[in-house]
Amino acid sequence: MIIIVTLIVFVVFVTKSTCRRGSKSDVSSSLERSSLPTSIIVMTATTDPSSSTRKDVEGVLSQPTEYKVYPMRWFILMTVNLLALSNATMWMTYTSSTEATARFYCNMTEESPKCEISLWTSQIFQLMGTILGIMGMYVTDKYGIKVSTRAGCILNLAGALIRIISSLPMVPLESRAGVLHVGTVIVSSAQPFFLVLSPKVAEYWFPEDQRALSNVLSFIANPLGVALGTIIPVFIMNKDTVTIDSYQFLILNVILTSVPLIAFIMSMIIKSGTPPTPCCASSDNHNAPDFCKALGMLIKNPHFYVILIVFGGAFGQLWAVYTASDSLLNQLGYSPSVTGYTVVVACAFGVGLSLLFGMYVDKTKKFKEVIRVCMCGFFLTSVAFNVITRYQPGDNWFFLPLIFILNALLGICSIPVFPIGIELGIEATYPVQEATSSGLLVIIGQLELFLIITVMNVARTNQNIDFVNIDRPGYQNDKNYFLANDIWCGIALVSALIALFLLNPPYKRLAFEKEHKEKSMSDRSNIEKGSISPSPSIKSITPSKVSVDVE
């Protein structure tokens, strides 16, 4: 672990050094944005000092605050998306292929307490995301978008290459799991850098009517990566033909490494983490507190705790069930490929609805209303899923379509909560830096996912509560999935109740932008009427010189 942390610090240092020139431009851009983009006029007095003063003040106030958006924002967003997509793909690759993984890495026919490779390749991601989350928030806040993107891409690519080595048949069997876990630790160490980037990219590069859509486009990369990581192994590997000498895992890892390589190349093209001209008022006037003070503000914000529970619940509940669904559906008698297709269906429908909800909340700003509906819908769907997975399909043709419909509803009711919840967290904690507030949300989401998976895994091995020996001919189940699913439904119920009755945060960022817009319109109106009302930003006016300082 010490070696991994040292590697991460080295990557950040090297990345920061290579970005030093760009970082200076970013800092200068930030300094420019710390004041309103109006000219500071200095003129000598005329024979009529009052006339000169009036003319100069009018020149300052009459200049509109101009904001600009750049096409480069889409390239940066695409780079962050490819980084997130490739990382999520590698997260789910082994989880969706439990039996094949056990055969290649442990020479066993199925996963057991002696070979939990699939489980731990998933859990490592949650552990590293939680442990290194604060560091990722700090680096992103201090050094900006470019440094975090490059650091994430370097770690992502390095870990992917090490995972290729673990899948080489000539590597001794007793060493494969260790090499795989080292690669997974490095890959998962990229998470703290890119998971907090989406809201920061949206804040600095996208106008206020595109921010929610930008966050949606960023966060749907995660479910798309999960879908790819689940479905690609279906076409490459056959669990019945995988042996310790097979090349199927090598082919799989080589294919998966192509996307991290593309993301790395794209990150090297990014020249600046911030645009030359701000895109909106909140980006222009974002006087955020320092990192430690921001953490203190978040800890004292009761609304943020509610958002933490709801967001983390949606994140953890969806992905936790898919870490167990492969074994569950196999034991119920479904085809091994069903799990991959159900995850793809959930992600596809969830992504589609996320885009629609993103455009909807951009126009209406009804963040909390959408989240409430989603969380209640997720609970009802989880109950239905729990009921249907207590029965074998047998000759009932409608069981399989029903499984797909319920998985689609699970995706629809949870995936939109990810980007909208992040946006809501930023609204409730403004002016705290986006990477700080969203970073804590992601860390707690990772922690909740880790805890939910752990609790469900313990419940599956519990034989004290008699949910296993169901009186159905031909049904054999050595794991207590029914108890695990009951716990899962209970967590969904608690999250839905909290969202329904306690989720009511203020929209601080929107309130600031509204106030800023009204003040600008009022100043412009005063100028047009000819009544000069000195702005609070004008600090000193003398007969010999007009000095305007913008705070």
pLDDT-derived band at 367 (thresholds 50, 70, 90) equals very high
Please determine, for residue 79, whether its predicted confidence score (pLDDT) is greater than 60.
yes
Token pair, residue 276, equals 């030359």
Give the pLDDT of residue 34: 38
What percent of the chain shows pLDDT beyond 70?
77
Q: What is the average per-residue pLDDT within 311-334?
A: 81
Give the CA distances from residue 157 to residues 164, 190, 375, in Å, rounded to whole numbers and listed in that order. Answer: 11, 9, 35
What are residue 541's DSSP bridge partners? 546
Q: Which residues contact 336 (CB under 8 A, 6 or more apart)?
A: 99, 234, 239, 326, 330
| Burial call 35-44: b when 16+ CB within 10 Å, e when fewer | ebbbeeeeee
| Residue 112, SS3 per DSSP | strand
Q: What is the average per-residue pLDDT within 161-183?
A: 92
Q: What is the average per-residue pLDDT within 2-26?
A: 49
Give the pLDDT of residue 292: 84
| CB atoms inside a 10 Å sphere around CB 517 | 13
- Whether 427 is covered by a domain: the verdict is yes
Please determine, for residue 371, whether its predicted confidence score (pLDDT) is greater than 80.
yes
Q: Which residues contact 81 (CB under 8 A, 6 or more apart)?
A: 217, 218, 221
Which pLDDT tens digit goes with each residue over 18-54? 555 444 444 444 433 433 333 333 333 333 444 444 4
What percent of the chain shows pLDDT beyond 90?
28
Specify the range with the lowest mean pLDDT, choosing from 220-234, 437-451, 535-549. 535-549
Q: What is the average per-residue pLDDT within 426-439?
A: 84
Contact 358, 420 (CB under 8 A): yes
Contact 320, 481 (CB under 8 A): no
Q: What is the average per-residue pLDDT within 207-216?
A: 78
The residue range of the domain holding 271 is 72-511
In whole angstroms, what is the distance from residue 155 CA to residue 194 CA?
Answer: 11
Domain count across the chain: 1
Contact 298, 426 (CB under 8 A): no
Please determine, for residue 346, whether its predicted confidence score (pLDDT) is greater than 70.
yes
Please determine, for residue 10, whether its predicted confidence score (pLDDT) is greater than 80.
no
Give the pLDDT of residue 8: 54
Which pLDDT tens digit goes with each residue over 274-300? 887 777 666 665 566 787 888 888 999
- Whether 330 is covered by a domain: the verdict is yes
In whole angstroms, what is the distance from residue 367 CA to residue 479 CA?
Answer: 40
- Whether 550 is covered by a domain: the verdict is no
Contact 445, 316 (CB under 8 A): yes
Q: Which residues contact 6 (CB under 8 A, 6 or more apart)?
A: none
- Give residue 5's identity as a one-letter amino acid code: V
Give the pLDDT of residue 48: 42
Contact 126, 447 (CB under 8 A): yes
Specify the range with the lowest mean pLDDT, choosing from 1-15, 84-98, 308-322, 424-438. 1-15
pLDDT-derived band at 64 (thresholds 50, 70, 90) equals very low
Give the pLDDT of residue 44: 35
Please determine, for residue 123, whether its predicted confidence score (pLDDT) is greater than 60.
yes
In whole angstroms, what is the distance from residue 77 CA to residue 259 CA?
Answer: 15
pLDDT-derived band at 408 (thresholds 50, 70, 90) equals very high
pLDDT-derived band at 517 (thresholds 50, 70, 90) equals confident
Q: What is the average per-residue pLDDT within 459-468?
A: 63
Give the pLDDT of residue 542: 37
The CATH number of residue 454's host domain is 1.20.1250.20
Q: What is the average per-residue pLDDT within 378-388?
A: 93
Give the pLDDT of residue 15: 53
- Give residue 376's identity as a one-letter amino acid code: C
Element (DSSP H or E) covering residue 425: helix 417-429
Give the pLDDT of residue 185: 94
Please determine, for residue 262, whether its predicted confidence score (pLDDT) is greater than 90.
yes
- Whether 9 is covered by a domain: the verdict is no
pTM for the full predicted model: 0.72
Which range has the top average pLDDT, 30-39, 336-345, 484-493? 484-493
Q: Which residues contact 239 (CB under 8 A, 6 or more apart)?
A: 97, 99, 100, 103, 336
Give the pLDDT of residue 38: 36
Give the pLDDT of residue 283: 60
Q: Which residues contact 175 (CB under 8 A, 6 or more apart)?
A: none
Please determine, for residue 151, whether its predicted confidence score (pLDDT) is greater than 90.
yes
- Whether 343 is covered by a domain: the verdict is yes
- Whether 42 is covered by a domain: the verdict is no
- Whether 536 is covered by a domain: the verdict is no
Q: Which residue has the higher pLDDT, 47 or 179?
A: 179
In whole angstroms, what is the distance from residue 234 CA to residue 342 CA?
Answer: 12
Give the CA distances from residue 196 to residues 103, 193, 305, 453, in Å, rounded to whole numbers and listed in that order. Answer: 37, 6, 18, 23
Give the pLDDT of residue 282: 63
Give the pLDDT of residue 236: 87
Give the pLDDT of residue 144: 86
Which pLDDT tens digit goes with each residue over 518-540? 777 777 777 776 655 544 444 33
- Give residue 527's identity as a one-letter amino acid code: I
Q: What is the average per-residue pLDDT within 505-524?
A: 79
pLDDT-derived band at 58 (thresholds 50, 70, 90) equals very low
Give the pLDDT of residue 410: 94
Q: What angle do CA 215, 273, 358 make, to 5 degrees?
A: 10
- Whether 11 is covered by a domain: the verdict is no
Please determine, for residue 102, whether its predicted confidence score (pLDDT) is greater than 90.
no
In whole angstroms, what is the distance from residue 456 CA to residue 233 CA?
Answer: 24
